Every structure is written in structure tokens, then in C-alpha cells.
Amino acid sequence: KNDPESVVIEKLIASYEQIDSTKITKFGEFPLSAKTLKGLRESGYHKPTEIQKETIGLALQGKDILGAAQTGSGKTLAFLIPILEILFTQQWTRLDGIGALVITPTRELAYQIFEALRKIGEHHDFSAGLIIGGKDLKFERNRMDQCNIVICTPGRLLQHMDENPLFNCINMKVLVLDEADRCLDMGFEQTMNAIIANLPPQRQTLLFSATQTKSVKDLARLSLKDPCYVSVHENS
């Protein structure tokens, strides 16, 4: 295609292979869409934290990632930025349905992620939704169909999958397992396994965790393909 957006996208994609995370100090040095850069700037984000620096390039290159970094290190943007860029480069539209699914252990975390996405994603045209219970299932179900980026808690997501065999995420591109250690600590292991078994295998998966326990490694084995391991300990 020759329209201006396709040309821009071709250029972005062509520069993914040359990303050198060791040389990056500002978000503007990553090959990101103007829409994402503007959203970041307006939200007051200028320099990536260590985990963001280490994972964004790999995620743009299409890799599965197992990312370990302590609480407060900035893991949310480490997956929200790639989600926006992946859907942007796919020229995802509202009509394309669910393109990205973020699973996080609690409603509070889901709200926080949703708020962060609303800010940095402001100039994109994707729809986002929370699937965390509290509304009736049918209401959420109808909403979910119109969402491109769904942020959900494990129990509620599985409930949707169970009650609707046609649960439609067959085209989804990105799965994020956020705070995986906490999901497992909260007893969601079976739920997570069942969710993963229900998702299309053709997808990119980013798994983030503050700690790397055995159960996190088990979940990683089940959900990631040939992952890159990124572990960050500094307080940045």
C-alpha cells in the first residue's frame, strides 16, 4: 500500500532490527509512532526506565518476553507501548475486535493500567475496556466485542470464555500476563492455564513478574515461545 500511513509504518518496522537498547536514553529514540510519542510526552514520560529500555525493542521485534523487575519499576509502560505499536503497525481498527489482552491479578491494577493506557494511547483510535466483573456478564460481553484492548482479571475472563464458546479473540496479536507472580499467589494457576489453553497460539506473549518463582517459570513454559529473559534489579 502507498498511503502515507503505510509508508510511515514500513519505515518504523524496517528500523526495529536496528534498535540498540544500550544506546537509548529517551523514548523518542525508539522507532515509535508519532501518536504514541505524543501521548507519552503529554503524560510526562520522557525517559524509559530500565525495564522499559530493555523490553520495548525486543517486543517490537516480535519476541516473547519474560520480564522480571521489582514493583514500581515501570512494567506497565513496558507492555502498553508495544501493544499500541503492534496494533498501529497492523493498522488495527475498531472493527477488528480484540487485538490485545492484558491479564492482571486485581481490579485495582486493572484500573491503573486502563488509566495509563487512556493517557498514553490518547492519540490512537483504539477502544479499550475493562473486564473485571461488577457488571452483568451480558453487558460486559457486548462491550468486549467492541474493544481492541481488553484489560481483565483472570477469573472474570475465564468466566466469559466458559459461558461463551464463541468468545472472540481468535485474531488477537498480543497477550500480556501482568504481575504473574501475584496472579499465582492469589490461586489463579488453574485459571491462567485454562485461559492460555483457550487462546490462539499465533500470538506474541509478554509475561511480567516481580519475582521469578518456580510457578512463574511453569507458567512461562506454558505460555511463552522461545522467550527473551529480561531481569532488572536497579531502582530506576
Binding site for ligand ADP (CB under 6 A): 45, 47-49, 52, 69, 71-77
55 lies in the binding site for Mg ion (CB under 5 A)? no
What is the number of the residue whose Cβ is closest to ligand ADP?
76
203 contributes a contact to Mg ion by CB under 5 A: no
Among 210, 100, 202, smallest CA distance to 152 is for 100
Residue closer to ligand ADP by CB (options 73, 205) is 73
Contact 80, 124 (CB under 8 A): no
Least Å distance between CB 80 and ligand ADP?
Answer: 9
DSSP per residue, 23-62: G--SGGGS---HHHHHHHHHTT--S--HHHHHHHHHHHTT
Backbone φ and ψ of 87, nearest 5°: -70, -35
75 is a site residue for Mg ion (CB under 5 A): yes
CA 50 to CA 12: how far, in whole Å? 22
- Maximum CA extent, the chain: 50
- Residues binding Mg ion: number (CB under 5 A): 1
Q: How far is the CB of 103 from ligand ADP (least distance, A)?
A: 14
User: Is residue 81 close enough to count as binding Mg ion by CB under 5 A?
Assistant: no
Residues that bind Mg ion (CB under 5 A): 75
